[in-house]
Each structure stands twice: as structure tokens, then as C-alpha cells.
């Protein structure tokens, strides 16, 4: 996790670094720091425990001049959040300073070796080892910074994205990556360069971006070209990509929190997600004659790779957290429309489970950030075992997008709030399109159902908008739960993963213990938890076996559970059974998650706000989990 930023060029580095850190604060926010080589060639390092704003306060009145600098916002792995553990870390001589995102796994061994050579450590971090090691290599080999970095990285086991500067050579910035993301923005005429963990801090200065690959070192010289090499010093071509980030998506747009903005973004971003992918066909491909318009899915990755996909005797979905919940919905969609057995694995378990993966298996990796370390490792393993890997990713150009064989972007724009909202609905939308497209090629989709689902999918953004109109009502209703300490979320079929997602949203931002459960499993144990003080969110909407769900609801009512039912419009039966309910528009059963998750997102948001918590930056969490 952690976010790193760097700048070298002609303007003052400090404002670029600070603004960049604010943009990356979603990656970690327990301490922050920056290092600047000043106009008088001093190396000034400032650190603060807490947020980037605390760092800004710490630098007030200090020398923040200089057009070379690096900065960091931290999510602690080794060593508690504190000023001393905050980055940048400085070498023994005080010349070299470094910021790091990742984990140096063999840091303890390296530290002992360096201590024997007289290096003294101030922090408990793994990162400080790396900066000392670089200095040691530089002294030992009488080489420049880039070579010292390269040599040091040969000795390191682990994951890193680093930016390093040397006071003795203030015209140079060295960066490297392995398994942690690093983007380099190239300013006009190569007069300036921007470094960051993702493109968001760079986007307002340039759209010319190079994403470093694993085991690459970049040397950026003021006013010169960008030089990329591998760990053996061999030149590598820097592939420059044009990356356009919608800057308006990077601010709150008048909402008090990113999470609320992103919940409200959903109608529009889902339209973007479907744009060009659901088309109106008015001409028959056979006769060329016009006919009644029909809808069709166009997913180029499915079309271009249908041979590999149709060969699949099994699909395995790998992902984490919310993306894993989307995967559970994907399984039901793929099995229904494509008749292909599908498994869903936690990427963190899959990677170490010695899974049976065969050559004809297809692995689908789902990730909002495209940088989740466990998912990346699962992809690597699947590829080694010969599987064809399909990515469903939001962050354009991210590591997962680049490491999969093909894939589909969900195109919902940057998601900043730590609690994933619009990415979930984007993932479910793309999974629906994927299942329909593949099912069509396979001949397992009923034509009428294909048309019905596509038509209803195009109505979903308007229906979400209808749910969002109930925001005030949900806020009012949430007051009842401010002091609750436990919650149950129950659903069946397509709504079971939504129950899991609702519980996760509540846990992560309001710190209330919550569990999602398949409603019919209650009677096998958890029903013992039900009493008048236990809030139970019951998803009764749109189930194919509606009466079965009603029986489960009845079981909870009989035990006096405090029910909040999510019901579909006009469901008078449930209205007569429960006091508290939220009505959502009717839709098809397989699309229900796209609608039923919205009130759950709003509910957890309002409960967390009422509890006075930091919704966008909940404790202990980070948006992008780039460590395992
Ligand atoms: O970026 P990814 O989709 O790979 O992230 C996976 C999880 O870390 C993520 O969904 C996490 O669970 C969210 N905080 C949930 O809101």
C-alpha cells in the first residue's frame, strides 16, 4: 500500500508533491513525509505522524524550496505509525533518501549484515534497510546512485516501488519497481518528470505516462531523456502510453465524502461502462435487410478470444474483498448463461493452495485497483500452470490489466473512497455482459432471455437513480442503528453476495460487527443470535423462489429480530410483515444485485457518518492492498 510521489524539473517540487500525496492518500494515511533538495543544495526532510495535512502543518515556516523531491504517504507494515517510521528514510551519511511502497521480506537479515558494518538504524521499518544498503553499495563500488540501486535490488527479496535521490547529484532521480506500481509522467520536451504510485497525481501535468515493469530501474535526469534498464543494466524500451484521467473524478464534486459521491456516480458511470458494449442491431447480418431492432453485446476481448474461452471446461474467478463478492455473482451468471462450471477463490488462498489448474481452464481476475498483490500473484500462478487469464479491472494501465492475457475495463472512473461502491456495480455489469456474450457464442443463452436481460440492463442506471432519491429516508432510518454493535445481512441466490457486500461495507467504515449469510442457512446455527436487539437486513427482492425467502423472513420475525427489509416495489406481502423496509424498483432476478446493493451502501455510509467516523479513510485500511 503506501503512496509515493516524486518530481524533478523546473518548478517548485513541494506543491506537486503535496497535491500528489493528497491524491494518493487513499493508499495509506498513518504518516507522511517529503524530502527536497533545496535551492542551496541542502537536503530537507520533513515528516509527520497522521495525514498529509499534518505534514503540511509540520512544514510551515520551513525551507520548502527546490525542484527535486520525493514524498510518501504511509500504511504501516513494519513499525507502528510514527514520525521516525515515516518515509523518506535517510542513509547514514545523510546524502541519500528514499521512499518505498512494498515490503522488503529479507530486511532482518540485511539489517544484521549492515549493522555489523557500522550502520545504525533509527526506525523499525524494512525500508530503512534499503536506503542504507544503497549507500553501502555506492561506497563499496564507487559507483553512481543508479548502479548502487541496481546492485542493491539484486540482494533484496520482496516487493517495491521506490524513488531515491542523492544530495550529491541533484540532477537525478532514480526509481525502480517490483510487484508494486510505479508510473512516470513525462512533461513537455522532457523538461520535467513526475513519479507516482498511480496516474492521478500526474494527470494534470501530462498524459504521457510510462508504467515501469517488474525489475526495471528508471533514471530520470533533469532536461534529459528517461533511461530505463533492467537489474543487469541492460537498456529497456520505455513504452509511453497516453493516459487520460478525468480530473473532475478526483475531487468530491460538492459531496461531503468521496464515498457518497461515488455512490451517486453510479447511474452515470454504469452508462459509461455499457457505452458501446450494448448495441442496437437493425440489420440482419445474413440478408443485410433492416429488421426489428434487437440488442447485442459487443465485448471485443470475448470476441477476439472466444476460441480460448469456449475451450474452457472450468472457469476460476480470483479476487479479494468486494471484487470477490462480485465474483460470486459472476459465478451464478456464467453458470446460468454459459453452462460452464465456475469456482470463486480468494486470491490470497488460491496463490498458496496448490490449486489444480489445467491448460484449458480460464481464470478471471477481478480488481478495482488492478494492483492487489494477492490477485497479481494468483494470476502469475494461473499463467504458470497454463491457464488463459481474463482481467476485469477498473484502473487503466494497472499491473493486473497488463499482466492478464486479455480483459475488459469496467470504466467507472477513479474510485477514491476506501469502501468500494461503484466498482462493485461496474464489475457486476461487466460480468453480466461477459456471461451473455460468451453464452451467445456457446449457444447456451435463450434468445429471448438475452434480449430481456440486455434491455433491462440499459434501464438499470435509471432505476439506481430512483433508489438514490431515497437517500434522505435512508439517512433518517440509519439513526436507529447508530449504537448497534452487531448486524446480520441475509439474502439468497443473486442477493446472497449482496448480503456479504452489505456486511463488509458496514464493518469497514462503521466498525460494527456484521455478517452476511445465505438466508436459508440461518436455521443451521446463526438463528441462535436473533433477538430483539439484533438488526437483520433482509433482502427479499427479486428472488426466483420468492416464497422460500418469505419463509426465511418469517423465521426471523418469529424470533423478534429487528428487521430492515429491502423489498421490490409493490411487495405488499412483506410490507404487512415488517415495520421497516426500503422499496427498490422491480428488475430481473439476475440483475437484482445492481439495485439491492445501493440502499446497503447508503445505509452503511449514514451509520458511519452518524458515528462520527472518517468514512473515506477508515482505520487500518488502505484502498490498494499492494502487500500480501
Ligand atoms: O482493488 P481490488 O478490487 O483488487 O481490491 C480488493 C479489496 O481490497 C477491496 O475490494 C476491499 O475489500 C474494499 N475496501 C472493499 O470495500
Structural fold of domain 3-245: 3.60.20
CA of 369 to the centre of ligand 1 (A): 8
* Mutational pocket test of ligand 1: of 75, 322, 394, the residue with most ligand atoms within 8 Å of the beta carbon: 322
Could you give the CA distance from residue 576 to residue 559 in angstroms, rounded to a whole number? 17
Residue pLDDT, tens place only, 97-117: 999 998 898 998 999 999 999
What CATH number labels 470-610?
Answer: 3.40.50.10490
- Is residue 290 very low, low, confident or very high in pLDDT (cuts 50, 70, 90)? low
- 186 neighbors 222 (Cβ within 8 angstroms): no
* Greater model confidence, 616 or 6: 6
Fold of 259-462: Rossmann fold (3.40.50)
State mean pLDDT over 130-140: 96
Pocket test for ligand 1, best of 258, 321, 511 (most atoms within 8 A of CB): 321
Distance between Cα 411 and ligand 1 center (Å): 16
Q: Is 398 in the pocket of ligand 1 (CB under 6 A)?
A: no
Contact indicator for 500, 328 with CB cutoff of 8 Å: yes
pTM of the model: 0.78
pLDDT number for residue 30: 85
pLDDT digits (tens, 9 = 90+) for 394-446: 987 788 999 999 999 998 888 989 999 999 999 999 999 999 999 999 999 99
> In terms of DSSP H, where are the helices of 44-106?
52-58
With a cut of 60, say whether residue 31 has pLDDT above it: yes
Give the model's confidence band at 250: pLDDT under 50 very low, under 70 low, under 90 confident, else very high: confident
Q: How confident is the model at residue 251 (pLDDT cuts 50, 70, 90)?
A: confident
User: Does the beta carbon of 503 lie inside 6 Å of ligand 1?
Assistant: no
Q: Is the dihedral of CA 406, 407, 411, 416 positive or negative?
A: negative
The mean pLDDT of 140-161, rounded to a whole number, is 94
- Mean pLDDT of the 542-548 span: 75
Residues annotated as catalytic are 2, 623
Q: Nearest C-alpha to atom 11 of ligand 1 is from which residue? A: 321
Average pLDDT score, the chain: 92
Output the pLDDT for position 286. Answer: 55
CB of 570 closer than 8 Å to CB of 584: no
Buried b (16+ CB within 10 A) or exposed e, 260-298: bbbbbbbbebbebbbeebbeeeeeeeeeeeeeeeebbbe
One fold for both 259-462 and 470-610?
Answer: yes
Cα–Cα dist 535/487, whole Å: 5
User: Does the beta carbon of 420 lie inside 6 Å of ligand 1?
Assistant: yes
Q: Check if 98 has its Cβ closer than 6 Å to any atom of ligand 1.
A: no
Indicate which atom in ligand 1 lies nearest the CA of residue 321: 12
Q: What's the pLDDT band for 352 if we cut at 50, 70, 90?
A: confident
Is 320 close to ligand 1, i.e. is its CB under 6 Å away?
yes
Helical residues (DSSP H) of 312-421, grouped into ranges:
321-338, 347-350, 373-384, 399-403
Among protein residues, the one whose CA lies closest to atom 14 of ligand 1:
419
Domain ranges of the chain: 3-245, 259-462, 470-610
Q: What is the pLDDT of residues 262-273, one digit of tens each?
A: 999 999 999 989
Out of 366, 370, 372, 498, mutate this one to test ligand 1's pocket (max ligand atoms within 8 Å of CB): namely 372
Amino acid at each position: 500500500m503506501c503512496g509515493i510521489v516524486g518530481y524533478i524539473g523546473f518548478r517548485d517540487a513541494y506543491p506537486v508533491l503535496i497535491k500528489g500525496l493528497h491524491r494518493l492518500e487513499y493508499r495509506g494515511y498513518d504518516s507522511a513525509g517529503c524530502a527536497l533538495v533545496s535551492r542551496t543544495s541542502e537536503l530537507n526532510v520533513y515528516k509527520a505522524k497522521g495525514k498529509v495535512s499534518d505534514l503540511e502543518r509540520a512544514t510551515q515556516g520551513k525551507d520548502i524550496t527546490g525542484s527535486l523531491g520525493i514524498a510518501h504517504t504511509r500504511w504501516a507494515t513494519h513499525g507502528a505509525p510514527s514520525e521516525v517510521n515515516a518515509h523518506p528514510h535517510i542513509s547514514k551519511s545523510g546524502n541519500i533518501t528514499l521512499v518505498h511502497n512494498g515490503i522488503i521480506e529479507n530486511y532482518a537479515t540485511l539489517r544484521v549484515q549492515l549493522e555489523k558494518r557500522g550502520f545504525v538504524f533509527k526506525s523499525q521499518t524494512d525500508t530503512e534497510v534499503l536506503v542504507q544498503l544503497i549507500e553501502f553499495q555506492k561506497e563499496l563500488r564507487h559507483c553512481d546512485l543508479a548502479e548502487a540501486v541496481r546492485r542493491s535490488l539484486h540482494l533484496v527479496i520482496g516487493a517495491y516501488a521506490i524513488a531515491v535521490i542523492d544530495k550529491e547529484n541533484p540532477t537525478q532521480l532514480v526509481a525502480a519497481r517490483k510487484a508494486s506500481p510505479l508510473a512516470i509522467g513525462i512533461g513537455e520536451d522532457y523538461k520535467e518528470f513526475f513519479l507516482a504510485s498511480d496516474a492521478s497525481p500526474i494527470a494534470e501535468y501530462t498524459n504521457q505516462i510510462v508504467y515501469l515493469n517488474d525489475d526495471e530501474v528508471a533514471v530520470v535526469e533533469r532536461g534529459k531523456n528517461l533511461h530505463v534498464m533492467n537489474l543487469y543494466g541492460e537498456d529497456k524500451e520505455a513504452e509511453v502510453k497516453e493516459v487520460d484521467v478525468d480530473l473532475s473524478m478526483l475531487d468530491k464534486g460538492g459531496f461531503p465524502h468521496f464515498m457518497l459521491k461515488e455512490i451517486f456516480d453510479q447511474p452515470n458511470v454504469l452508462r459509461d461502462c455499457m457505452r458501446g458494449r450494448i448495441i442496437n442491431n437493425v440489420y440482419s447480418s445474413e440478408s443485410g435487410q433492416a429488421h426489428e431492432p434487437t440488442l447485442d453485446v459487443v465485448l471485443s476481448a470475448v470476441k477476439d478470444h472466444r476460441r480460448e474461452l469456449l475451450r474452457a471446461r472450468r472457469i476460476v474467478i480470483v479476487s479479494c474483498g468486494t471484487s470477490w463478492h462480485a465474483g460470486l455473482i459472476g459465478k451464478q451468471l456464467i453458470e446460468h448463461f454459459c453452462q460452464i462450471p465456475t469456482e470463486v477463490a480468494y486470491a490470497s488462498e488460491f496463490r498458496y493452495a496448490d490449486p489444480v489448474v489445467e491448460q484449458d481452464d480460464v481464470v478471471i481476475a477481478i480488481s478495482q485497483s488492478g494492483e492487489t498483490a494477492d490477485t497479481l500473484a494468483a494470476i502469475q500462478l494461473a499463467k504458470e500452470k497454463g491457464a488463459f487469464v481474463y482481467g476485469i479491472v477498473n484502473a487503466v494501465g494497472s499491473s493486473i490489466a497488463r499482466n492478464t492475457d486479455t480483459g475488459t475495463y469496467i470504466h467507472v472512473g477513479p474510485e477514491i473512497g476506501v469502501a468500494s461502491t461503484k466498482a462493485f456495480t461496474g464489475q457486476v455489469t461487466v460480468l453480466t455482459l461477459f456471461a451473455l456474450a460468451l453464452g451467445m457464442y456457446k449457444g447456451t443463452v435463450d434468445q429471448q432471455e438475452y434480449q430481456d436481460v440486455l434491455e433491462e440492463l440499459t434501464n438499470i442506471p435509471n432505476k439506481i437513480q430512483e433508489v438514490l432519491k431515497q437517500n434522505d429516508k435512508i439517512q433518517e432510518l440509519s439513526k436507529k442503528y447508530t449504537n448497534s454493535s452487531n448486524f446480520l445481512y441475509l439474502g439468497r441466490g443473486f442477493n446472497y453476495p449482496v448480503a456479504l457486500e452489505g456486511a463488509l461495507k458496514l464493518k469497514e467504515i462503521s466498525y460494527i460487527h456484521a455478517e452476511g449469510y445465505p438466508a436459508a442457512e440461518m436455521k443451521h446455527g446463526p438463528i441462535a443470535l436473533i433477538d430483539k436487539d439484533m438488526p437483520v437486513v433482509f433482502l427479499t427482492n427479486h428472488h426466483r423462489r420468492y416464497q422460500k425467502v418469505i419463509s426465511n423472513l418469517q423465521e426471523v420475525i418469529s424470533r423478534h429480530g429487528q428487521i430492515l427489509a429491502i423489498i421490490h416495489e409493490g411487495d405488499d406481502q412483506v410490507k404487512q410483515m415488517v415495520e421497516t423496509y426500503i422499496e427498490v424498483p422491480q428488475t430481473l432476478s439476475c440483475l437484482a444485485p445492481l439495485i439491492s446493493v445501493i440502499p446497503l451502501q447508503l445505509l452503511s455510509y449514514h451509520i458511519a457518518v452518524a458515528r462520527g467516523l472518517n468514512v473515506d479513510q477508515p482505520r487500518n485500511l488502505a484502498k490498494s492492498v499492494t502487500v500480501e
